[in-house]
Amino acid sequence: MTSLIKGIVENYGQDYAIDKWNNYAEARFQPTKDPFYESMPNGKKKRRKLPDYCSVKEKKLWKKLQNRAWKDDRCLCGCLWVNWGLGLAPVLSIIPTIGPIIMYWVHTKLITMADKELLLPPDLVAKMHGNIILDLLISLPPLLGTLLAWMNACSTRNCALIYNHVAKRATKQHNMHAQRQDLEQMHEYANNAQGTAPNTTASYTPVAPKTNTYPNSRPPVQNIPTQSHNL
């Protein structure tokens, strides 16, 4: 009976932990296209940060990547969070022929910095390089290419891809850890329930058979002294 109760509790705990993990992942992680700001419930915006359960190393690197992408696409002088609307990459694309090539090199520095520290998957790295190649091609026409490169904002796109990957990976690891903790608590609860369950089986203590301490079948006859009667 106790094993049946334990099995029911463990199955319920596993289903509960999996549902909790799925609901948490759906509610907490949403891909973004803006790596710089996130909207608050009151309508204001604040600087986008990685989830709290990311490592300190990832958070520090994320700030560097944000600043790099901001300098490439939003403010060429490098003033943090001063939005000029014009970054270093569109300005470089103005230079004929060599400008787009330099711009390509500027965009690749963001990928190299992220891949070195975060060990990004090959498909994500290939996708970001594809964005840079597209940005290079559209920036080749004079003047019009500069406008297209400014609208494309390649570093901003790649920075958003990096954020989505790191945040999703951290969320998955965090939820798996929380799921293991829930399962361990359910196992502990089931073990405690099994240990406190009443014992329904009757206890039987074996009794050793009585042995005859006398070597013969009958006990020895004691010699009873007789009294002599003098007549």
- Per-residue pLDDT reduced to its tens digit, 31-61: 888 999 888 888 888 889 998 888 899 999 9
Q: Which of 18-22, 111-115, 137-141, 162-166 has the lowest mean pLDDT?
A: 18-22
Please tell me the pTM assigned to this model. 0.67
Q: Does 178 fall in a domain?
A: yes
How far is residue 85's CA from residue 105's CA, in Å, rounded to a whole number? 21
Residue 137 lies in a domain: yes
Classify residue 228: in a domain, yes or no. no
Mean pLDDT, rounded, of the chain: 75
Residue 44 domain-assigned? Answer: yes
130 or 87: which leads in pLDDT: 130
Tell whether 106 is covered by a domain: yes
Which residues lie closer than 8 Å to 69 by C-beta, 6 or more apart? 35, 36, 110, 155, 156, 158, 159
Domain that holds residue 86: 2-191
d(CA 54, CA 12): 30
Share of the chain above pLDDT 90, in %: 24
Query: Could you give the number of structural domains in the chain?
Result: 1
Question: How far apart, in Å, do the first and last CA atoms of the chain sit?
Answer: 85
Q: Residue length, the chain?
A: 231
Residue 212 lies in a domain: no
> Does 202 reside within a domain?
no
